[in-house]
C-alpha cells in the first residue's frame, strides 16, 4: 500500500478570500447608495447642486478605489517586475481597490479630490505595500491614509466645507454632533446635543453631518448581520466594542442625571458603528482568538471614551483602532494560551473592567460640578479698573493650549478684544473669517453666534472667553488684581543677558506685563541700581509711566519697592514693572549683602 504524505491544512472552508472580499463589497453597496442619496440626490432636489455635483459622492468613492488600484498596478510592474501576463491576476489577488474605497468612506464629503488621491496613494503604499502587501500589513491601510489627511490637510478641508454637504451648509451651524460636545458647557443636554440635528431616529438612520459613509448606524448594523452570517467577520469585536462605549457613557450620563438617550447619542454619533463593523474587524490587523477578540473590543471601547472625553479629538475611533493594531500580536500571544486555560487571560479582563469603572467614574465626576463654580478653563491674569472701565488679561483653554487675550469692557460693553498669545493649529481661519469682530458685534447674544467649521474648538474657546469675562464684569468685582501663579512666576521672570560697562553692570530682565513681555534695562553700580529704562514693551501706558517719574521713584526707593504707588490709569502695567524689579533684586540679593 502506498502512503502519501501531504502538509495541512486538511479541513478547508468554502469561504475563501475571494468570496470574503466579494461579500464585503456587497455589504458596502447599501452604504454607498445611501451616501449618494444623502449627499447627492437630496441637495440636488433642494436646489443646492447641479446634476454633475449630484454625482460627486459616487465620483469621490470611485476615485479613491481607482487610485489604490492604479498604485498597486504600478508598484507590481515597476518594483516587483511582475510579468504583463500575470499582472492583472496579481492585482486582483491583492484586492487593490479596498484601501482607497474605505478611505473615501471615512473622509469628509468636501475633501478635495487631489487630497483624496494623495491619501489613497499613502494608504496603499505606506499602509499596505511597504509592509509586504495583502495580508502582511500591521495597521489598517485606510486609517493610515485618513490619519495622514486629517493631520496635514484639515484646514483645507474645513475651508472647503468640512463634513457638511451643500444642503447642510445652509441648515447646520458647522459642527458635527461629536464636535458639538466640546462647544457646550458641561456634559450637555438633549436640547444642546441631539435637537440641533433632529432626533435619535435621524442619528440611527444617518441624516446627520459626518464622513461620507459613516453616518448610518442602521446600514452598518445591516452590514454587521450580513457579514456575520456569511462568516466574513466575527461578531465579538463589534459587539464588545460598541457595548463597552455604551456602558461607559451610560455610567457617565447616569451619574450626571442624564437618561438613556445619552449613551445612545454617543454610540450613534461619529464613525463608531462603521469603525466597529468594517475597520476593527479587519482580519489582518485584529486578533484571531475568541478571547483576544473580546479583550481587543473592550480596549477599543475604553480608548474611544478616553479620546472623546479627555483629549481634543472628539471622534476617537480612528486613533483607538490604530493604537490597538500595535498590540494585536501581544493579545493573540497571551490569549492563544488562554483558549484551554482561561486563567492565563484573567489579568487582562481584570485590567479591562478596572479601567472601565475607573475611567467612567473619573470622567463622570469631572462633569458633576457645582453650578456656582466658575469655568475651570478660564483664568483672569490681571484686571485694571478705572471707574466703569475694566481692562482684563485672561486665558481660556483652546484646542492646543491656553489662548491669552486682552478684553476691555466699558459700561458693560466690550470695546476692545485682542488675542495676545495662542498656539492653535488653524488660527488663520479665525483671522480670515474676522471672527473676533463677529464676536464683538454680537456680544449682546454670544450664545447664538455659530462656531466656525474646521476650528470649532478654537472658535468656541474665544466665545467662552468673552462670556466668562462679561460674567465677571457683571458680578461687580472692581478690584485691581494681578493674579500670578506662584508655581510659574519664576518662569515668567528672566535675566536675558548682562553687559559690563567699566564699573557698571547692565542687566536686561523680562517679566509678564499687561500685553506681553516687558524687558527692562537695569544699570547697577556698586551693587546699587542707578537707572531703570524700558528696553522693550507692548504696554499702552509706558509714556505715561515715564512722564510721571515712576521709574525715578523706583530707583530712589529700591529698598522698599512696595512703597512706590502704581500709576493711575496704568495700574496693571506699573505693578508688573514693580514685580519685575522686586524679582530682580531678590535674584541678586547677594550683591547687597556682600
> How many whole angstroms from its chain centre is CA 568?
44
Give the three cell numbers for residue 93: 489577488
287 close to 278: Cβ distance less than 8 angstroms = no
Tell me what pLDDT residue 4 has.
61
Which residue in 460, 391, 400, 396 sits closest to 425, CA to CA?
Answer: 400
Residue 304 CA to residue 182 CA, distance in Å, equals 15
pTM of the model: 0.70
- Res 569: pLDDT: 61
Residue 405: which of 348, 469, 496 has the closest Cα?
A: 469
* Region class of 500: left (phi > 0), else alpha (psi between -120 and 50), else beta: beta
178 and 187 Cβ atoms separated by less than 8 Å: no
CB 542 within 8 A of CB 555: no
DSSP string, 155-174: HHHHHTTTT--TTHHHHS-S
Nearest to 264, CA basis, from 278, 283, 245: 245
Q: Do residues 558 and 585 make contact, with C-beta atoms less than 8 angstroms apart?
A: yes
Angle at 512 between CA 509 and CA 516, to 5 degrees: 110
Q: Can you give the residue ranges of every domain in the chain?
A: 11-171, 378-429+453-482, 489-593
CB 394 within 8 A of CB 380: yes
Show pLDDT as tens, one digit a residue, over the chain (594 residues).
566 655 555 555 556 788 999 999 999 999 999 999 999 999 999 888 899 999 999 999 999 999 999 999 999 999 888 888 888 889 888 999 999 999 999 999 999 999 999 999 999 999 999 998 888 899 999 999 999 999 899 888 887 888 888 888 766 655 688 887 877 777 888 888 888 888 999 999 999 998 999 999 999 999 999 999 999 999 999 999 999 999 999 999 999 989 999 999 999 998 999 999 999 999 889 999 999 999 999 999 999 999 999 887 778 899 999 999 999 999 988 888 777 676 777 888 899 999 999 999 999 998 765 544 567 778 888 887 776 788 888 998 887 678 888 898 888 889 989 888 887 767 888 888 899 999 999 888 887 787 776 677 788 889 889 988 988 888 765 555 544 443 444 456 778 888 888 788 888 888 776 666 788 888 888 888 888 888 887 766 677 788 888 888 888 888 888 888 877 666 667 777 888 888 888 877 654 454
Residues 195 and 144: their CA atoms lie apart, in Å, by: 34
Residue 482: what pLDDT? 47
Q: b/e map of 220-249 (b: 16 or more CB within 10 Å)?
A: beebbebbbebebbbebbbbbbbebbbbbb
CB-based contact 519:536 (threshold 8 Å): yes
Tell me the three cell numbers of residue 579.
514685580
Residue 47 exposed, middle or buried by CB count within 10 Å (0-12, 13-18, 19+): exposed
Amino acid at each position: 500500500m502506498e502512503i502519501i504524505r501531504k502538509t495541512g491544512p486538511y479541513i478547508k472552508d468554502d469561504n475563501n478570500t475571494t468570496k470574503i472580499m466579494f461579500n464585503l463589497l456587497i455589504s458596502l453597496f447599501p452604504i454607498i447608495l445611501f451616501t449618494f442619496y444623502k449627499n447627492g440626490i437630496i441637495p440636488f432636489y433642494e436646489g443646492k447642486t447641479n446634476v454633475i455635483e449630484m454625482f460627486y459622492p459616487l465620483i469621490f468613492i470611485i476615485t479613491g478605489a481607482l487610485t489604490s488600484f492604479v498604485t498597486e498596478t504600478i508598484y507590481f510592474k515597476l518594483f516587483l517586475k511582475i510579468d504583463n501576463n500575470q499582472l492583472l491576476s496579481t492585482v486582483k489577488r491583492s484586492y487593490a481597490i479596498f484601501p482607497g474605497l474605505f478611505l473615501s468612506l471615512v473622509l469628509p464629503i468636501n475633501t478635495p479630490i487631489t487630497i483624496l488621491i494623495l491619501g489613497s496613494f499613502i494608504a496603499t503604499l505606506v499602509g499596505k505595500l511597504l509592509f509586504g502587501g495583502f495580508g502582511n500589513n500591521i495597521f489598517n491601510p485606510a486609517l493610515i491614509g485618513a490619519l495622514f489627511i486629517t493631520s496635514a490637510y484639515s484646514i483645507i478641508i474645513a475651508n472647503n466645507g468640512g463634513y457638511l454637504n451643500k444642503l447642510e451648509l445652509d441648515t447646520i451651524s458647522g459642527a458635527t454632533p461629536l464636535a458639538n460636545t466640546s462647544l457646550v458647557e458641561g456634559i450637555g443636554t438633549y436640547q444642546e446635543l441631539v435637537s440641533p440635528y433632529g432626533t435619535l431616529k435621524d442619528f440611527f438612520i444617518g441624516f446627520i453631518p459626518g464622513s461620507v459613509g459613516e453616518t448610518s448606524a442602521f446600514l452598518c448594523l445591516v452590514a454587521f448581520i450580513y457579514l456575520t452570517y456569511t462568516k466574513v467577520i466575527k461578531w465579538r469585536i463589534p459587539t464588545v466594542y460598541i457595548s463597552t462605549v455604551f456602558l461607559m457613557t451610560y455610567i457617565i450620563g447616569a451619574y450626571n442625571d442624564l437618561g438613556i438617550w445619552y449613551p445612545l447619542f454617543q454610540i450613534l454619533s461619529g464613525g463608531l458603528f462603521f469603525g466597529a463593523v468594517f475597520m476593527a474587524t479587519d482580519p489582518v490587523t485584529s486578533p484571531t482568538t475568541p478571547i483576544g477578540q473580546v479583550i481587543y473590543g473592550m480596549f477599543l471601547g475604553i480608548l474611544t471614551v478616553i479620546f472623546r472625553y479627555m483629549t481634543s479629538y472628539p471622534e476617537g475611533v480612528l486613533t483607538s483602532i490604530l493604537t490597538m493594531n500595535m498590540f494585536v500580536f501581544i493579545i493573540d500571544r497571551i490569549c492563544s494560551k488562554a483558549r484551554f486555560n482561561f486563567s492565563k487571560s484573567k489579568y487582562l479582563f481584570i485590567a479591562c473592567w478596572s479601567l472601565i469603572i475607573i475611567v467612567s467614574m473619573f470622567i463622570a465626576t469631572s462633569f458633576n460640578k457645582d453650578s456656582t463654580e466658575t469655568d475651570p478653563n478660564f483664568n483672569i491674569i490681571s484686571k485694571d479698573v478705572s471707574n466703569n472701565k475694566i481692562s482684563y488679561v485672561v486665558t481660556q483653554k483652546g484646542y492646543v493650549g491656553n489662548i491669552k487675550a486682552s478684553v476691555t469692557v466699558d459700561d458693560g460693553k466690550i470695546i476692545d478684544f485682542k488675542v495676545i498669545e495662542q498656539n492653535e493649529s488653524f488660527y488663520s481661519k479665525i483671522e480670515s473669517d474676522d471672527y473676533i469682530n463677529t464676536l464683538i458685534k454680537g456680544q449682546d447674544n454670544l450664545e447664538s453666534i455659530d462656531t466656525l467649521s474646521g476650528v470649532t474648538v478654537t472658535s468656541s474657546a474665544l466665545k467662552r472667553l468673552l462670556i466668562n469675562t462679561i460674567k465677571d464684569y457683571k458680578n461687580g468685582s472692581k478690584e485691581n488684581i494681578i493674579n500670578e501663579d506662584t508655581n510659574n512666576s519664576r518662569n515668567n521672570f528672566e535675566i536675558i543677558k548682562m553687559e559690563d560697562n567699566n564699573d557698571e553692570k547692565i542687566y536686561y530682565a523680562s517679566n509678564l506685563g499687561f500685553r506681553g513681555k516687558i524687558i527692562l534695562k537695569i544699570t547697577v553700580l556698586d551693587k546699587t541700581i542707578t537707572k531703570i529704562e524700558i528696553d522693550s514693551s507692548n504696554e499702552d501706558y509706558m509714556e505715561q509711566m515715564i512722564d510721571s517719574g515712576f521709574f525715578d521713584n523706583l530707583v530712589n526707593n529700591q529698598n522698599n519697592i512696595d512703597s512706590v504707588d502704581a500709576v493711575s490709569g496704568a495700574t496693571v502695567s506699573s505693578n508688573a514693572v514693580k514685580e519685575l524689579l522686586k524679582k530682580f533684586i531678590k535674584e541678586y540679593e547677594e550683591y547687597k549683602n556682600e
